[in-house]
Structure 1
Amino acid sequence: MWNNRVFIAVFVCLSGCASFYTTCKDGWLPFRGSCYLFHVEAMTFASAEQYCRQHENSHLVHIDDAIENSFLKDRMGLFKDRYWWLGLKDEDIEGVWKWFDNDEIATFTDFNPGDGGSHSLEDCAAAEPGADYRWVDVGCSVTAGVLCKTRGHEEASVIG
């Protein structure tokens, strides 16, 4: 009976006393299970996506929620006055934004008022520095900084 109690205590501690963190390759920034690469050279959307695929087989950033968006906005601000590509397009149906990496409709967006709607020649999304990095729709042939995202490596450390 005593052995069962020790086992339960150890199991509870291992499941409740472990902390997890994300590790990334050098030059990549870890956050909540993902790794991000900021590349300041301005490129078109297609060139930026190609750049990401050549680096850790990543894609232009896919932002899942407001917490991730806020984290990225803070980091974008360190580069001052630079637009950043997002992996988001509405080329199939105007105003219906889909993530380029998986073709899913975006459930979270942060478009500037007046952006993200019906602009027929603006099928790609970028984060705009003058608007606190809120999202804007732009032509895919303009140039912006490259922001790549890939899955990180989860590591665990046991406390105690």
Structure 2
Amino acid sequence: MEIVIEVAFSGGHLYVDDFLIYNAPCSTDGIRTPVCPQGSIKRKGLENMMSCYTFHPEPMTFLAAIQTCKLTWPGATLLQIETADEQAFIANIINKTISMSNAADFGIWTGGNDVDTEHTFVWNGPTHPIAFNYTHWHPGQPNNIGGDQDCVLIQYKSSNYEWGDVNCNEKHSFICEMNYDVRHQPSHQYPSGVIG
């Protein structure tokens, strides 16, 4: 494939051999200004941050779920529950949505894990691991049964969606999370379909 881009300063052409294309909208709003993916649930978080959540009912392993989140939107991760308020928000959304509530019967992946260091749980952040600063463990969890439970699951529906650790190769539904600073709003709006 050859793509030709006009270069205004030289009047010539710049030929591009290889490049990556992300799942981005055709307008510049999603490129220059972060926006939530279509169908996501929005939540205003701390310090001007907006969180967008997308629910994925198809059960996948932990690593496959991470990859699916990255394909959903650049910078997306598996769910990171960082406050009691966010835990309550997620529990409320699960309770209000039949498909999510049904999936919760079998557990929903979060991005929490202790793969690198046993008993040191982190969120698999968009660029680097983020230490837990909030937990919602079920009594007796994490228990690392069999020495092979390194990934965090929203597991206990009847106990306000408390967490448990499970084997990362299990398949569960999952929630992707994207975050952006709301202060980065466009200075003007482009008409739909106009780039530049």
With structure 1 as the length reference, what TM-score do the two structures score? 0.77
The corresponding residue for 2:27 is: none
Cα distance in structure 2, aligned partners of 1:24 and 1:105: 25
Which structure has more helix as a fraction of its residues? 1
Greater RCO (Cα-Cα under 8 Å, separation 6 or more): 1
| Letter of the 2:55 counterpart | F
Alpha carbons of structure 1 residues 26 and 153: separation in structure 2 relative to 1, 3 Å: farther
**3-state SS in 2 of match to 1:80:** helix
The corresponding residue for 1:4 is: none
2:122–2:129 Cα contact (<8 Å) kept: yes
Deviation of residue 133 (structure 1)?
1.2
**Aligned counterpart in structure 1 of residue 166 of structure 2, from 122, 135, 138:** 138
The corresponding residue for 1:85 is: 109
> For each residue in 1:65-87, what CA deviation from the matched residue of structure 2 results, as whole angstroms up to 9, or x when unmatched?
00011100111222224211000
1:116 aligns with 2:142: yes
1:104 aligns with 2:130: yes
1:30–1:152 Cα contact (<8 Å) kept: no
**3-state SS in 2 of match to 1:147:** strand
Segments of structure 1 that go 5 or more residues without pairing to the other structure are 1-21
| Letter of the 1:73 counterpart | A
Deviation of residue 131 (structure 1)?
3.2
Q: Runs (4+) of structure 1 moved beyond 6 Å?
A: none
For the aligned residues, what is the CA RMSD? 1.9
1:74 aligns with 2:101: no
> For each residue in 1:2-45, what CA deviation from the matched residue of structure 2 results, as whole angstroms up to 9, or x when unmatched?
xxxxxxxxxxxxxxxxxxxx962311110011100011111100
The corresponding residue for 1:126 is: 153
